[in-house]
Chain A
Amino acid sequence: MLFSSTIFIFIFLPTVLLVNFALRGHRDAQNVFLCFASLFFYAWGEPKFVLVMMLSILVNWGFGYIIDKHREERTAKLLLVLDIVFNLSIIFVFKYLMFTLENIKMLGAKNLVIPEIALPIGISFFTFQALSYVIDVYRGDAGVQKSLINVALYISLFPQLIAGPIVRYTTVADQIKNRVETFDDFSQGVVRFIFGLGKKIIIANNMALLADYAFSTVGDNSLLLAWLGALAYTFQIYFDFSGYSDMAIGLGLMFGFHFLENFNYPYISTSITEFWRRWHISMGTWFRDYVYIPLGGNRTKTKGRHVFNMFVVWLCTGIWHGANWTFVLWGLMYFVLLVFEKYSGINFKKDGKCKSIKYVYTMFFVICGWVVFRATSLSEAVVYFGDMFSCKNGLISDGFLEYGRQFITYFAVAIVCSTPILPKLKERYKDNVLCSGLMVVVLVAIAIFSISCIVKSSYNPFIYFNF
């Protein structure tokens, strides 16, 4: 089930809010209800794969429990390794097995039969959350959760289930039992949900029309249309992903959960390092805490080892996004850029000189990176770059004129919303009654406009199939 669907907004959400409210004061009952509601939410779109998620819940709960029991023994480490192997095996089978076999076949094993394996939506998110739980228990960063329902609730909680943020167990461990639902949190959650819905439906979905058009005519795009398409995808993925995160954070607040921020205006960054501090923060910190630091992080004896650690992290980051060489290349591009920023000696800090040049440098590679990310294959990415960096199809085309004119207002809105201008204005006038009233009107309008797009069954792509 998608947040941006009529069945979620008008049937699922009111029902779950109502029952959750009716069960207030009975925390265990609330948790049981939310757990089953979340499983239903997932099963609605993935009736078979909910079993995979339930298996993941059961096994990780079991591993957490046994690891805690054998905390002082060597078996704990072995059990942790087994749990990691189990989780990575699930991801590998569903996400990477076909890709691996296809590549083996290309290398010569022509008789190899490649099975058709569908990808359970959100598998990378819920598996990483499950891993985070067991690792945190092993490390002693979090206490073991004896209740299967509570572990199930943590892993399957519907707000963050499909598209993140990747909630760490330590973030919500206490909230599962002791969260406090207040009307103010609920109200803030509604505000956040509406903002997210607007970002996804009004901006991202419209940007998707242009991006999809440009990528469907790859090889025939004029130079400006290719850039326009790349820019549209740059905005699409940001507003889609951050919109979903906003909705997740908002929904979490409605039920008393406080999730951490996942995006912090990444398109104002003046370096790639800064960009990754602002983009998909929950994934970045997950890889930092569970891959980079255990490998030694930057506290290594040699530069080579540090570069190797970074290489592993960015290879994993690329592959995490999908089983395709495009994602590998995309991840490695960031590895190269981050090593460059680390060791070139150039000051990439915001207060340094040539801020605008640094900004252009950052956004140039971010946009080029999204082209690789969006392309269905490396060859398509190369052809698309051909459109972007040559005039073989001319500078301007009818498509550019049509879409450029058509989407100019959306681009203007997207640019403004990519910067912290609006939050600064909100902060400045936070106590102004007139401005607050205006904000209510604007948010009601955003909600109504967004829902109108959903009701009209406008274009509503889902870009997390790879994740």
Chain B
Amino acid sequence: MTVKSKRILAIIFVAMIFIVGITTVWNCRHTISGIVKESSYLHCKSELEDSIDKNIFQKNQWINVNGLLHRIMCETIVRGSGSEYDVYKLSNGQIMYNLDERDMRDYAGQLVKLDNELNKLGIGLTYVQLPNKIKDDSYMPPGTKTYGNINADNLVALLREESVDTIDIREEIEKAGLDWSSLFFKTDHHWLPTTGLWASGIIMEHLGDRYNYPINKSYYDYENYDSEVHENWMLGAVGRRVGVLYDGLDDIEILNPKFQTDFDLVGISDAGTDHRAGSFYDSMYLWDNLKNRADFVNNSYSTYIGKEYSIATVENKLNKNGMKILLIRDSFSCAITPFISLNASSTKNIDLRRYKKNILKLCKEYQPDAVVVAYNPSAFSKKQFDFFK
């Protein structure tokens, strides 16, 4: 290197550390002033380090650059701060986190118990097994194993042994001959809204048959929707761990029924109560989540329904004689709730990660025609099967 080029490098380096340093301190100014009042040295130190790490200048751009490094180094597994944060590049080019093998007997037991308790109230339970993005090991980098769908297979088998009404969406995908990869986002673990639309048709047809309610199947026909595609817009939850430059961005499609709709949605979260009313387009979407391209904070997928409410109620003003459904859900149902609501008079969505009350008590009050538990394999956790709080 010539002396001149070394000097240029030194100037670049010094400028970088000073600019990043000063702006980071500025971003942390409130934390720093708060820390001064703290008495414990170790607490101060840890708070300050955390604050600097969180508020570092252009943190998201650093993550993007980091993703580029992993891409250049041809890494198909990007290690996180723990194995649950590792990101796997799948053989189909998508990215995903992996799931460990889990013992499904307790979860099956909880569902069987819920089924029995609901039967005593004269209410039916349907378990809907949603798919995991990683179909099987063939999608994984060589030498790695995935257990998402294996765990789901085990759960479904145990429920069927106990005669719990079960819909396995994965079987329906196979029956319909759909291409597994095309059903999911590239950078997010969720399925596409269009997959949610299709799956909602399967679920509602099943519920209609079981509870003798008429179902308008045309609501699940893609042709009956106007499509608004935001190309290269969404950075999914998995993508946020590795940045935009590792695997790019997803398109996000907003569906707007061509037919008339009128809803009333009330969602309760820790942040407060949201109330949206009007057409499907006005009530089912939280547009704040679609504001920013490559958003590291809000997931554009959650434009559907919006925040992960502990409980959300959707009233369909144009179908007052339809079914009443209590949906115990995970985030995959962001793309189910809007579409099943079209054929229901009322749906209540419960997220057990946030909902703290007893389900049976709610059922007694709400008197649903059907209780649906719809989980994808990453929702297999104690919290989400804790039906009897």
Q: Which residues of A contact B (CB under 8 A)?
A: 5-7, 9-11, 13-15, 17-18, 44, 47, 183-184, 186-191, 193-194, 202, 206, 209, 397-406, 408-410, 426, 430-431, 433, 435-437, 439-440, 443-444, 447-449, 451-453, 455-459
Contact = CB atoms under 8 A, between A and B. Distances in A.
Contacts, number: 143
A186 B74 CA distance: 35
B9 A452 contact: no
A346 B15 CA distance: 55
Contacts of A397: 143
Contacts of B7: 183-184, 187
Contacts of A401: 142-143
Interface in B11-37: 12-14, 16-18, 20-22, 24-25
Contact of B24 (A10, A202, A457, A458): A10
B45 A44 contact: yes
A11 B25 contact: yes
B143 A400 contact: yes
Given A184-B3, A190-B9, A202-B69, A409 B144 contact: no
Contacts of B176: none
Interface in B43-96: 45, 48-49, 52-53, 56, 59, 62-63, 65-66, 68-69, 72-77, 79, 81
Contacts of B143: 397-405
Contact of A455 (B66, B81, B145): B66
Contacts of B5: 433, 436-437, 439-440
17 contacts: A7-B49, A10-B21, A11-B24, A44-B45, A190-B14, A194-B13, A398-B144, A402-B142, A404-B143, A430-B1, A436-B1, A436-B2, A436-B5, A440-B5, A449-B66, A453-B66, A455-B59
Interface string B188-225: 00000000000000000000000000000000000000
Contact of B6 (A187, A406, A410): A187
A456 B142 contact: no
B63 A456 contact: yes
Contacts of A456: 62-63, 66
Given A187-B7, A452-B65, A457-B81, A6 B56 contact: yes
A402 B141 contact: yes
A405 B62 contact: no
A430 B49 contact: no
A320 to B, nearest CB: 30
A433 B2 contact: yes
Contacts of A459: 79, 81
A410 B73 contact: yes
Interface string B160-184: 0000000000000000000000000
B140 to A, nearest CB: 9
B8 interface: yes
The 8 closest A-B pairs by CB, nearest first: A402-B143, A401-B143, A452-B66, A436-B5, A187-B6, A187-B10, A10-B21, A455-B62
Contacts of B77: 402, 406
B47 to A, nearest CB: 12
B69 A209 contact: no
Contacts of B24: 6, 10-11
A459 B25 CA distance: 24
Nearest to B8: A440
B56 A10 contact: yes
Contacts of B141: 402, 405-406
A459 B80 CA distance: 7
A10 B51 CA distance: 13
B243 to A, nearest CB: 9
Contacts of B6: 184, 187-188, 190-191
A458 B66 contact: yes
A453 B81 CA distance: 11
A409 B3 contact: no
Interface in B88-146: 141-145
Contacts of B53: 6, 455, 457
Contacts of A449: 65-66, 68-69
A426 B75 contact: no
B4 interface: yes
B81 to A, nearest CB: 6
Given A188-B6, A406-B141, A455-B53, A13 B17 contact: yes
Contact of B10 (A10, A186, A403): A186
B25 A409 contact: no
